[in-house]
Amino acid sequence: MSVDPIGEVIAAMADLRSGGSRHNGIGIFGDVCLRATEKVKLRVADGGFADAGFVEHLDVVLARIFLQVPTDADAGRPVDHAWRPLVERRGRHDLLPIQFTLAGANAHLARDLPIALVRTCRERGVSPHAAGVRDDFEQVGGALTGVVRPIRKSYLDGHTVASGRPLSPLADLVSNFSLDKARDAAWVTALTLWEIRDVAFLERSFERTLGRNVGLVSRQLLVSFTDPLATTQPLSEDALFGR
């Protein structure tokens, strides 16, 4: 690894942010990923992890998995099923930034994070069962949820205040998606991947199924909703009585 590996992936994310991708769904999540990676870098510098070297390695592997998505998408290459809904719908104007944010967080937490952990453990010769690994893993995932959570809260608070009525279907969907459950599931997924790591066909099959399942959730998060109360004008008397 280089002298500042996290700094390198942060620079790569900043490049993504300054390019055209910033204005589509990938760029929107890229901003979130950038902020989460910056938080991890600060925490590493402050000694906030059990094994700073392990976390630095994990965070770089995780960031590179995400950075491969826009690279492949821009080149017209297929991306993993977990990321396909966001890539396919990245230019849709009928979807809100909060939807891209949650779909990206879902793919990154539920699919990328456990894969990154297993790769890191293999490369460093460490078991995920070793002391401190789970705590560090959860803190890395927590950096992302810590960025996304206030964004979601701001959307829901703003929606409720502005509407003064029960949540719309989209807001209901946003409120029911659990970042913490996604992160907890990622740990179980990582342990499963670790146990089957030496059976190549089984590992490939599990990762393929994982990507499809995660992609299904992201596809639901990227459904376009129309709020009829926000778009429908009250009927006039003439229209109501057919005059």
pLDDT, tens only, 75-123: 999 999 999 999 999 999 999 999 999 999 999 999 999 999 999 999 9
Tell me the average pLDDT of the chain. 88
User: What's residue 22's pLDDT?
Assistant: 57
Confidence tier at 162 by pLDDT (50, 70, 90): low
* pLDDT (mean) for 64-75: 96
| Residue 190 identity (one-letter amino acid) | A
User: What's residue 1's pLDDT?
Assistant: 58
Confidence tier at 232 by pLDDT (50, 70, 90): very low
pTM of the full structure: 0.88
**Residue 229 in this model has a pLDDT that exceeds 70:** no
Of 72-76, 128-132, 200-204, 225-229, which range is least confident?
A: 225-229
**Residue 161 in this model has a pLDDT that exceeds 70:** no
**Residue 235 in this model has a pLDDT that exceeds 80:** no
User: What's residue 156's pLDDT?
Assistant: 84
Higher pLDDT, 242 or 31: 31
**Residue 172 in this model has a pLDDT that exceeds 90:** no
Confidence tier at 17 by pLDDT (50, 70, 90): confident
* pLDDT (mean) for 172-188: 89
